[in-house]
Amino acid sequence: MGELYYTNRNFRYSEAQEKWRGVMYHYGADGKRHYKTKTFKPDGKRAAYADYLAWCDKEEEEAQRKQWQGGAANAAELLIPDYVSSYIQAKEATKAIEASTIKGYETSLRYIREEFASVAVKDLQAKAVEEWLSKLTKRGYSSSTVGKAYRLLKQVLSDAVNNGAIMRNPLATVKPPKRCNKKHGINALDADARAEMLGKFEALELTPTLIGAYLSLYAGLRRGEVCGLQWRDLDETNGVIWIKRAIGEGKGGAYTKQPKTDKIRDVSLPPSLLAVLLHWKVKQREEFASNMASLRGDSYIIGDALGYYSPTRLTKEWNSIAKLLGVRGVEGRLPTFHDLRHTWATMFIAAGGDVKTAASNLGHANAAMTLNIYASADPDAKRRAAEITEKAMR
Regarding whether 278 and 167 lie in a shared domain, the answer is: no
Which candidate, 320, 300, 325, 323, places its Cα nearest to that of 310? 300
Whether 157 and 94 map to the same domain: the answer is: yes
Structure confidence at residue 164 (pLDDT) = 84
343 and 194 in contact (C-beta within 8 Å)?
A: yes
Please count the structural domains in the chain: 3
Task: Determine the Cα–Cα distance for residues 167 and 178; give it in Å rounded to an integer.
Answer: 27
Domain assignment present for 256: yes
Residue 17 lies in a domain: yes
> Which pLDDT score, from 0 to 100, does residue 349 have?
84
Query: Do 23 and 10 contact (CB within 8 A), yes or no?
Result: yes
In the chain, which stretches have pLDDT less than 70? 1-5, 28-30, 42, 64-73, 180-184, 261-262, 366-394
Question: Do 45 and 130 reside in the same domain of the chain?
Answer: no
Residues 222, 301 within the same domain: yes
Residues 262 and 138 in one domain: no
Q: Is 21 exposed, middle or buried (0-12, 13-18, 19+ CB in 10 A)?
A: middle
User: Distance from CA of residue 81 to its chain's centroid?
Assistant: 21
* Whether residue 131 sits in one domain with residue 212: no
Residues 71 and 103 in one domain: no
Are both 162 and 200 inside the same structural domain?
no
Whether residues 385 and 290 fall in one domain = yes
pLDDT at res. 65:
62
From CA 175, how far away is CA 166, in angstroms rounded? 20
- Residue 27, pLDDT score: 74
In-domain check, residue 179: no
pLDDT score recorded for residue 128: 96
pLDDT of residue 208: 96
Predicted pLDDT at 353: 81
Instruction: Out of 33, 52, 77, pick the residue that ends a domain.
Output: 77
* Rounded-to-10 torsion of CA 157, 162, 166, 171: 30
* Cα–Cα distance measured from residue 394 to residue 387, given in angstroms and rounded to the nearest whole number: 11
Q: Looking at the domain assignment, is residue 58 inside a domain?
A: yes
- Domain membership of residue 186 (yes or no) is no
359 phi and psi, to 5 degrees? Answer: -60, -40
Q: What range defines the domain where residue 141 resides? A: 80-173
Whether 232 and 108 map to the same domain: the answer is no
User: What pLDDT, on a 0 to 100 scale, did the predictor assign at position 1?
Assistant: 41
Tell me the one-letter amino acid at 289: A
Tell me what percent of the chain is helix, strand and coil, each rounded to the nearest 5: 55, 15, 30
Looking at the DSSP bridge assignments, the partners of residue 254 are 249
Dist. CA 302–CA 283, nearest whole Å: 12
Q: What is the predicted pLDDT for the residue at 99?
A: 79
Distances (CA, A) of 308 to 82, 255, 337, 342: 36, 10, 17, 24
Task: Say if residue 221 is in the same domain as residue 271.
Answer: yes
pTM of the model: 0.61
Asked if the structure places residue 310 within a domain, the reply is yes
146 and 39 within one domain: no
